Amino acid sequence: MWQYSPFLLPLLLSGFISVYLARTAWRFRKTTGRISLAFTLMEVSCAVWTLGYAVELSNSDLTTKLILAKIRYIGIVVIPVASFLFGAYYTRRSFWYEPRRVLALFIIPTITLLLMWTTESNGLIWSQPIVVQSIGSVSVLNAPYGSWFWVHSAYSYLMLLGSLYFVARAAIASPAAYRDQAFALTVGMFAPWISNAITIFGLSPIDLTPFAFTVTGISFAWGVLRLQMVAIVPIARDVIVDSIYDAVYVLDDHASIIDTNKAARVLLGKSPSELRGKSLKLVLPSLFPMDTILDGKHELNTTINGRAYCFETIISPLTGRTGGSGHVVILHDITERQQNEARIQSQNESLLKVNAQLNISREKAEEAARLKSQFLATMSHELRTPLNAIMGYSELQLEGAVGELTPPQRHAAEHVMHNAEHLLAMINQILDLSKIEAGRLDIDVHPFSLDGWADSLAIKMKGLAEQKGLAFSIKLDPQLPRTICGDEIRLTQIAINLLSNAIKFTKQGSVKMDIHRDGPTHWKFEVCDTGIGIPDAYHATIFEEFRQVDGSSTREHQGTGLGLTIVQRLVQLMEGSIQLESHVGSGTTFQVTLPLAEVNT
């Protein structure tokens, strides 16, 4: 039964604010990465909690309220972990970048959610009796807390405490120019603590925590969007300042040190507390030749702790948002530069030796490639035998030799058979190419029937074309002799490769093969399709190894990019040639021209 609740509009407003903040943070995910993702998760969870609670308070039916309470518990268990991850990512705690550690944080929330959804039977979240209690014009669920509820609460507080610890430390360690940013987060962290404590100890008839997390989200968003802290802190602190080897000093408008990086402290042999607030004029007086800081790039020769240094000094003005000014001083140690320049000639001589060694290495690499090709060419039996065994066993299963298969078993066996055939074809392509490169593939010339060859191709390819609704035909020129000499197996391999490609890349229309005489000494077969065509830019490289028109072809049609390479190499071994004619959208034609060797009768 639905009822009016005075808290409906505030909760709806709070929920929609959370949705808006989540959407805004999601838009920045490509630039701020994990920080935006954690913030988005936190606000989505807050929206689920808040909107679910709004609907729950507007209903007085116990069963409906329980269902809605279980739904909003999704947000309740996730939001503390999301808050913890936000604090960890904001302060660059790389320990929590590991996905397995992030997943571990969700173990307790997952258990809590499962127990909540069965709380009527286990009583671990809410124990009986679970009743609807009317407080003024509002009806709320009322039930004693179970034992696991306190485990969940302790874990949630632990997550919030961890997030607060991360952010508070960042606030303390931040330079004055950035401290407002971290302070905005710290204030936002306190709101859920206070509101949740009020709710748990029964000081308020309704749960104020979703309102508090909305306040947290607003404070976070204010810091993120208004103060741009996500962009400033990683650049100014973690990514650049604390990771570079150059010494960096941040000065206020009185040239007093307000921040340093690790390299700067190591250079002077001082701790952060020893340097903070000290005047750089006293620490490095040579920076102030005229009692003032000179902006720009300079060379500085000085002695620090008894050691002579030569620095390339970059001094840049730093203007705060409130108008305050200061400087950033970067000291790049170039002491060894002159020594390095003195070694250039020696290094040039060494480079000549290296080049000679590289030539030797290149020759060795070429020899290794040749040996690799020879090795692969001899591995045909070892690679094909287990695949043939797999295919044989699968075929026995499909034929019922081991008993009748259930539909799922038949589907699995057919899947194994299909993939084994595909893998065997890929291995055969690789082995063929290796044999060709190793010079171990011979062309076996013998008489064969052109009619029989054409009929065999039609039988093998017509069904594949008909499955796609394509017209398929093979025409044989009557002027050709019926029997010629050639390697029928390799010719079949060439033709099937070209026909298969034509069928693969033709969605509608036709695929045809014309076999005819090409002058008195040659014969030719052409494979034509009405498919997608090949752009002109790829014509020059289409026969190269592992080349395809684009990556989508490989994914959609499961190709290796070796088929046309092998076709070209085989045609060349037969002392023939292959040409391509194609335009995008108007189909493709491959022409294979071969010497005509008639059989003497």
**What pLDDT shows up at residue 5?**
65
Confidence category of residue 270, pLDDT binned at 50, 70, 90: confident
Q: Give domain 446-595's CATH architecture.
A: 2-Layer Sandwich (3.30)
Q: Which residue has the tokens 């490169």?
A: 437
**What pLDDT shows up at residue 230?**
45
Side-chain half-sphere exposure of 458, counting CA atoms within 13 A = 16
More confident call, 91 vs 114 = 114
Instruction: Give the chain's mean pLDDT.
Output: 80
- Listed range (200-209, 327-336, 403-412, 441-450) with the worst mean pLDDT: 200-209
Q: What is the rounded CA–CA span in Å between residue 407 and residue 413?
A: 10
More confident call, 176 vs 183 = 183
Task: Give the type of residue at 210.
Answer: P
Cβ(90)–Cβ(36) under 8 Å? no
Q: Cα 369 to the chain's mean position, in Å?
A: 33
Q: What is the rounded CA–CA span in Å between residue 54 and residue 46?
A: 12
Q: What is the rounded CA–CA span in Å between residue 253 and residue 264?
A: 19
Average pLDDT over residues 335-358: 82
**What pLDDT shows up at residue 185?**
63
Cβ(239)–Cβ(230) under 8 Å? no
Estimate the share of the chain in helix, then strand, then coil, as percent rounded to the nearest 5.
60, 15, 25
pLDDT at 197 over 80: no
More confident call, 5 vs 269 = 269
- Listed range (223-232, 419-428, 431-440) with the worst mean pLDDT: 223-232
Label each residue of 407-458 as H, E or C: HHHHHHHHHHHHHHHHHHHHHHHHHHHHHHHHCCCCCCCEEEEHHHHHHHHH
Read off the tokens for 559.
Answer: 């190709």
The helix (run of H) or strand (run of E) holding residue 581 is strand 577-582
**What pLDDT shows up at residue 293?**
61
**What pLDDT shows up at residue 284?**
79
Write the class of the CATH domain 8-236: mainly alpha
pLDDT at 22 over 90: no
Read off the tokens for 465.
Answer: 């074309």
pTM score = 0.42
pLDDT at 533 over 80: yes
Read off the tokens for 513.
Answer: 């093969």
**Dihedral pair phi/psi, residue 527, rounded to 5°:** -110, 115
Residue 548's contacts (CB-CB under 8 Å, 6 or more residues apart) are 554, 559, 561
Which of the residue ranges 208-222, 281-295, 302-316 has the most confident prediction, judged by mean pLDDT? Answer: 302-316
Give me the CATH topology for the region 349-438: Helix Hairpins (1.10.287)
Largest CA distance in the chain: 112
The 3-state DSSP class for residue 260 equals strand
Which of the residue ranges 97-111, 165-179, 253-267 has the most confident prediction, judged by mean pLDDT? Answer: 97-111
Instruction: Tell me the domain boundaries of the chain.
Output: 8-236, 244-341, 349-438, 446-595
Cβ(489)–Cβ(568) under 8 Å? no
In terms of Cα–Cα distance, which of 347, 413, 420, 436 is closest to 383?
420
More confident call, 556 vs 268 = 268
Cβ(251)–Cβ(327) under 8 Å? yes
pLDDT at 578 over 90: yes
**What pLDDT shows up at residue 232?**
42
Average pLDDT over residues 364-377: 72
Residue 484's contacts (CB-CB under 8 Å, 6 or more residues apart) are 447, 448, 450, 523, 596, 597, 598, 599
Average pLDDT over residues 572-581: 93
Read off the tokens for 579.
Answer: 């040409």
- Listed range (343-347, 550-554, 561-565) with the worst mean pLDDT: 550-554
Average pLDDT over residues 192-200: 66
More confident call, 233 vs 531 = 531
| Degrees, nearest 5: CA angle 328-332-335 | 150
According to CATH, the superfamily of the domain at 244-341 is PAS domain (3.30.450.20)
Average pLDDT over residues 443-461: 92
